């Protein structure tokens, strides 16, 4: 089909002779739209990339829809213009397919969200630090948590699924693998060191050791740390290894030592809980340190406190239906390998069980606190003095709760808001008096149960 205008033989020969260096000419029917668009296109083409050019023409296409009788012809002309111009402008860099598909989902410097219906369905999704998210998710277990290590996110799917799910942030958080830790083992956390992965398993007496590609290679036995007696007569024989953190060739594991056979209380704390130190190379247990309180709860988190790295975690002791004011936030000095004396924040000051905590700096920390009547609050406190500062949010009993706290490097606090009607992620600006920036709804309607900051890749 001939689309160019008829030319003389002389013109034709000139055209053929210079074809290698010429730019294709547009059809005559497109000259008018090209003339109209040329000024705007030159401005776009000279100043921005291909995606900006696309947005420019998409706007023009929307305008063309206002024309009823000739709208189709105009839109067709504009589309052909776009094809012609993009083919002719070789200096505009074209994004690859992966960036076009995954640009809004892939990459780091994001907040990863584990959400759940608290029954049978779980999802992993991400949002930008300012709260933007896409309608995207990866199916995970309804009881799960996430850790970020280098360029991967590891989802620990707990009892009932019993595996580690590996997500690739560079490919839209595509699931690369699911590695079983054994049926009924109830994996609880994961950490990496010395080209190895260490996974705690709540229903086993050891820590599983795998390669960094998650091939099982060994175990570290912690059976001797299980409680020796039970109020019910027969001890359960399990140490309840929960959280794990890797630091400079050492692996730290929280050992809760709960009495599952207690005749009255549910998972009752016993006399002592431990922080266990393991050499990541030799796999030898190199230290067992007693917490000041019991029942270390949640994730171990690395905090630089007064110029020294510490591992911080809450130890609520008796909680929930076993409620008592008997715990607090503890900090383990990684330089002296000793617990800091006293609590960074005591339950006696907070007024309830401290379920989660993040520390911004020496004078600013945030905690989720549950009271005896099961109401719950989000509090700010001073870790250096142990003083209560303010209450950021509160839920009466049965109206909702908070699950998951995370801080971004730019000073934003993220709190999983498990409100019965509006579950989402609350975002606070800790650099501006803890003003609430907003609440981001969880797409799909599930409730957040864990948050993880995903570092830039």
In angstroms and rounded to an integer, the radius of gyration of the C-alpha atoms of the chain is 29
What is residue 315's predicted lDDT score, i.e. its pLDDT?
Answer: 99
Distance CA 75, CA 57 (A): 10
Distance CA 412, CA 246 (A): 25
In the predicted model, what is the mean pLDDT of residues 191-214?
Answer: 98
Each residue's pLDDT tens digit, 220-261: 999 999 999 999 999 999 999 999 999 999 999 999 999 999
Q: Is 374 left (phi over 0), alpha (psi -120 to 50) or beta?
A: left
Domain ranges of the chain: 9-92
Q: Which DSSP state fits 424?
A: E
The DSSP H or E segment spanning 405 is strand 400-407
Q: In the predicted model, is pLDDT for residue 78 greater than 90? A: no
Q: Which DSSP state fits 455?
A: P
* Percent of the chain's residues with pLDDT above 70: 77
CA-wise closest residue to 301 among 245, 340, 226, 346: 245
Distances in Å between the alpha carbon of 446 and those of 120, 136, 142, 258? 11, 13, 10, 30
CA atoms within 13 Å, Cβ hemisphere of 9:
0
Query: How many CB atoms sit inside 10 A of residue 60's CB?
Result: 18
Are 410 and 111 in contact by the 8 Å Cβ rule? The answer is no
Distance CA 207, CA 278 (A): 10
Residue 50: burial class (beta carbons within 10 Å; 0-12, 13-18, 19+) = middle
Q: In the predicted model, is pLDDT for residue 421 greater than 70? A: yes
Are β-strands 387-395 and 206-211 bridged in parallel, bridged antiparallel, or unpaired? Answer: unpaired
Are 67 and 118 in contact by the 8 Å Cβ rule? The answer is no
What is residue 422's predicted lDDT score, i.e. its pLDDT?
Answer: 84
pTM: 0.79
Q: In the predicted model, is pLDDT for residue 166 greater than 90? A: yes
């Amino acid at each position: 089909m001939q689309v160019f205008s008829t030319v003389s033989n002389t013109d034709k020969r000139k055209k053929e002779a210079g074809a290698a260096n010429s730019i294709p000419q547009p059809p005559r029917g497109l000259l008018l739209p090209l003339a109209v668009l040329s000024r705007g296109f030159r401005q776009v083409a000279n100043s921005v990339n291909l995606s900006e050019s696309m947005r420019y023409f998409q706007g023009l296409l929307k305008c063309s829809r206002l024309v009823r009788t000739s709208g189709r012809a105009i839109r067709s002309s504009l589309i052909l213009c776009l094809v012609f111009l993009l083919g002719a402008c070789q200096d505009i860099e074209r994004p690859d397919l992966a960036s076009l598909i995954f640009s809004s989902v892939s990459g780091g410097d994001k907040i990863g969200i584990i959400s759940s219906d608290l029954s049978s369905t779980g999802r992993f999704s991400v949002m930008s630090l300012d709260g933007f998210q896409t309608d995207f998710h990866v199916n995970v277990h309804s009881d799960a948590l996430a850790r970020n290590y280098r360029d991967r996110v590891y989802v620990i799917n707990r009892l009932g699924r019993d595996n580690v799910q590996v997500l690739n942030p560079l490919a839209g958080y595509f699931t690369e693998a699911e590695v079983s830790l054994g049926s009924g083992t109830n994996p609880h956390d994961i950490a990496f060191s010395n080209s190895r992965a260490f996974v705690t398993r709540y229903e086993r007496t050891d820590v599983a050791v795998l390669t960094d590609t998650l091939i099982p290679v060994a175990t570290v036995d912690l059976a001797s740390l299980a409680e020796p007696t039970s109020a019910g007569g027969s001890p359960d024989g399990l140490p309840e290894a929960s959280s794990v953190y890797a630091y400079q060739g050492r692996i730290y594991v929280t050992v809760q030592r709960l009495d599952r056979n207690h005749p009255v209380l549910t998972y009752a704390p016993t006399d002592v809980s431990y922080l266990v130190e393991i050499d990541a190379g030799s796999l030898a247990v190199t230290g067992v340190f007693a917490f000041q309180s019991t029942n270390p709860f949640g994730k171990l988190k690395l905090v630089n406190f007064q110029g020294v790295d510490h591992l911080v975690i809450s130890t609520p002791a008796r909680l929930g239906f076993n409620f008592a004011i008997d715990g607090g936030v503890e900090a383990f000095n990684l330089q002296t390998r000793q617990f800091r004396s006293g609590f960074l924040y005591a339950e006696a000051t907070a007024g309830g069980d401290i379920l989660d905590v993040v520390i911004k700096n020496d004078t600013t920390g945030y905690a989720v606190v549950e009271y005896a009547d099961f109401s719950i609050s989000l509090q700010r406190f001073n870790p250096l003095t142990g003083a209560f500062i303010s209450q950021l949010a509160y839920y009466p009993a049965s109206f909702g709760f908070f699950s998951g706290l995370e801080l971004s490097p730019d000073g934003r606090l993220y709190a999983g808001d498990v409100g019965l009607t509006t579950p989402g992620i609350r975002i606070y600006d800790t650099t501006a008096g803890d003003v609430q920036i907003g609440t981001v709804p969880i797409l799909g309607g599930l409730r957040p149960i864990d948050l993880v900051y995903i570092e830039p890749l």
